[in-house]
Amino acid sequence: MKSFFRLQEVDPGFRPEGVLTLRISLPENRYSQPAQIRSFIRELLDRTSKLPGVEGAGAVNSLPLSGSGPSGTTTVDSRAVPPEQSTPEADWRVVTPGYFNALGIRLIRGRFFDDRDTDTSAPVAIIDETMAKTYWPGEDPIGKRIHRGGSKSTRPWSTIVGVVRHIRYRTLEAQSRVQLYWPYAQDPWHHVSLAVRTSLEPRSLAATIQREVLAIDPDQPVSTVRTMQEFLFDSIARRRFSMLLLAVFAGVALALAAVGIYGVISYMVTQRAHEMGIRMALGASRASVLRLVLGQSLSLTFAGVVLGLTGSLLLTRLISSLLFNVKSTDPATFAAVAGFLTAVTLLASLLPASKATKVDPMVVLRYE
């Protein structure tokens, strides 16, 4: 449970609130030329940006946390790493100028893509902060060179014009690879996702945007209409299920332990009711009797806690793969459970013992 709460606190690197997404797959037989693809996406984004309530719109080949996305060998022109380390595997994203604003991705240095980055202009790129720190540590990466492919690739070098925050594209649990972005105008793709930031309820725009798509091309379908919040929710579905399953079983186990401890200790103390009466008849105070009972009960409890903690320290290693930012020997969790069971023991001892000390000693002696 603690792992799940920690996971929900992870910053994905973008702002998912108020973002609607739609998938567009342009058929290659009707959009065989790059100019046709660019024209369609440019007009769609222009129409979408003018809709009421829309604060930004952009397109990307693969959305964060969507479960897919291309990657490939990338060559960096850097003297900070040896040649054998200058060709990392990077996540590749082709984006339109409005993508970063639509998803709320912060610019750290340089600039975003804009209208000057066309198919006829010099190739440019944007990298994430992780790549900048890794391959140009202590330097300004703006103006440096990078290209897709290995060191022998014939692709042209791109000039880095911006650095953005690292995005958790694959899962929230681990950082993604280093990330490389290039302008959609310089390498258009047939399959893209539209990201639209709005001040309205995101899904209320779905039908309107679909009508805009049909206005451009009556035969063009739209698929995978979802909000970024839904992507975020689904990305932790497996961990949520594991958390619920383990929480239910752990809760049942804890309840059974509490009931069992309470029953056993309460029975033991009740069996000593006559002994308490005799002690009080011989001059013992109620406080001293209570201390005696609690001391003996707690000695059993502490022995059980020590044995339980020892077993738990060994067994919790089995669930270490299910944990996130929490150690399998998390002291707060162990202390909370041990404290809870100790409190149950105190209640089980205190209630019957307190009741027994209120019995008239003469009644107990007469019974004996």
β pairing state of 178-183 and 89-95: parallel
Cα maximum dimension of the chain: 108
User: What's the Cα-to-Cα distance from 159 to each of 277, 304, 317, rounded to whole Å?
Assistant: 90, 66, 48
With beta carbons less than 8 A apart as the criterion, state whether 187 and 118 touch. no
pLDDT tens for 68-97 read 788 999 999 998 899 888 999 999 999 999
CA distance 74 to 68: 19
With beta carbons less than 8 A apart as the criterion, state whether 56 and 101 touch. yes
pLDDT at position 287 is 84
pLDDT tens for 218-254 read 999 999 899 999 999 888 888 888 888 888 998 898 8
pLDDT at position 13 is 92
CA distance 126 to 162: 5
The residues spanned by each domain of the chain are: 10-235, 238-367
CA distance 86 to 65: 27
Kind plus residue range of the DSSP H or E element containing 271: helix 237-271
List the structure tokens of 62: 């693969």
Angle between helices 286-315 and 237-271 (to 10 degrees): 150
- Per the DSSP assignment, residues forming a β-bridge with 71 are 91
Q: Please give the residue that has the higher pLDDT: either 112 or 324.
A: 112
List the structure tokens of 364: 């107990």
With beta carbons less than 8 A apart as the criterion, state whether 65 and 81 touch. no
CA distance 59 to 20: 12
pLDDT tens for 283-316 read 888 888 888 878 888 888 889 889 989 998 888 8
Nearest CA to 13 out of 142, 170, 199 is that of: 170
Give yes or no for residue 270 having a pLDDT over 80: no
pTM of the model: 0.78
Least confident among 79-88, 137-146, 196-205, 262-271: 262-271
Q: Please give the residue that has the higher pLDDT: either 171 or 16.
A: 16
Place of tokens 């399953």: 245
Nearest CA to 276 out of 289, 285, 266, 292 is that of: 289
User: Apex CA 54: angle with CA 51 and CA 56, to 5°?
Assistant: 120
pLDDT tens for 345-360 read 888 888 877 776 776 7
User: What's the Cα-to-Cα distance from 68 to each of 168, 184, 241, rounded to whole Å?
Assistant: 12, 18, 22
- Whole-number percent of the chain with pLDDT over 90: 54
pLDDT tens for 146-188 read 999 998 888 999 999 999 999 998 888 877 899 999 999 999 9
β pairing state of 145-148 and 158-164: antiparallel
